Amino acid sequence: MVIFSVLAVLICGYARKHLKRQQQKRILLTATIIPMAAVVSLIVIKLALGTFNIQEDLPIHICRIVAVMAPWVYLREKPLWTGICYFWVLVGTVNATLTPDLYSDFPHWEYFNYFGLHLGLIFLPIYYVVVLGHRINLKDLRNAIIASNIFVILSLIINKVLGSNYMFTMRKPEASTILDYLGPWPIYLLSVEVLGIALFFVVYLPFLIPPLKNQTAKSIK
């Protein structure tokens, strides 16, 4: 994570100061391939090894959904989804990186796949905001909250049909995570709702700083 942070700062700083707009976009679109490739390679490798499990390995967790969507979202520069992805990634993906649901240690391929997916995702909204100048507004915050609840409902339906636990809406993950402190099922679903909204507001705070707030309406079209 330290190496990632240093590289992200260096890439964003260089791209912002020395590259033209099209070159900046090219870096972003190239970066979207990394998390998407992590999701695809996970499925392909597990299918090849005969360990693919429909109850665990479909791209239904929120980070995997964003990874699959990322090339389309950032290629088309859809304000609706770039805004939603900002909140999902900087709250959900950052938490998943700090408290990984991972059982394979370094140097297992799943270790690199997991962090390639999650760290690769974190880079995208940061680069989009810092380098390309995208701004987040209250409408994006509202959309992220609505979309999150829709996906929770969908995950409950999918989990009921498949007997799975995507998005951990049926039970807590076996690995130690923040959910351990948020009560039993289904109480922790409500706790996550409150905590998630609070954290959404936290990552929105930079855009309340006057120099950024004045540019809120200048989202990329």
Query: What is the pLDDT at residue 125?
Result: 94
Three-class DSSP category at 79: helix
pLDDT over 50 at 216, yes or no = no
Stretch among 36-40, 177-181, 197-201 having the lowest mean pLDDT: 177-181
100 preceded by a cis bond (ω within 30 of 0): no
Please tell me the distance from the alpha carbon of residue 55 to that of residue 161, in angstroms, as a whole number.
10
Q: Can you point out the beta strands (E) in the chain?
A: none
Cβ atoms of residues 205 and 95 within 8 Å = no
**pLDDT tens for each residue of 39-91:** 999 999 999 999 899 998 888 888 999 999 999 998 888 788 999 999 999 99
Task: Tell me the CB-side half-sphere exposure of residue 123, using CA atoms within 13 A.
Answer: 28
Average pLDDT over residues 155-176: 88
- pTM value is 0.87
Question: What's the mean pLDDT when you consider all of the chain?
Answer: 88
Return the amino acid letter for 150. Answer: I
Three-class DSSP category at 86: helix
Cβ atoms of residues 123 and 30 within 8 Å = no
Q: Tabulate helix, strand, coil % of the chain (nearest 5).
A: 75, 0, 25
Average pLDDT over residues 27-36: 94
pLDDT over 50 at 218, yes or no = no
Query: What is the pLDDT at residue 211?
Result: 58
Candidates 72, 97, 106; CA nearest to 8 is 97
154 pLDDT tier (thresholds 50, 70, 90): very high
**pLDDT tens for each residue of 99-118:** 777 777 788 888 899 999 99
Query: What is the pLDDT at residue 108?
Result: 83
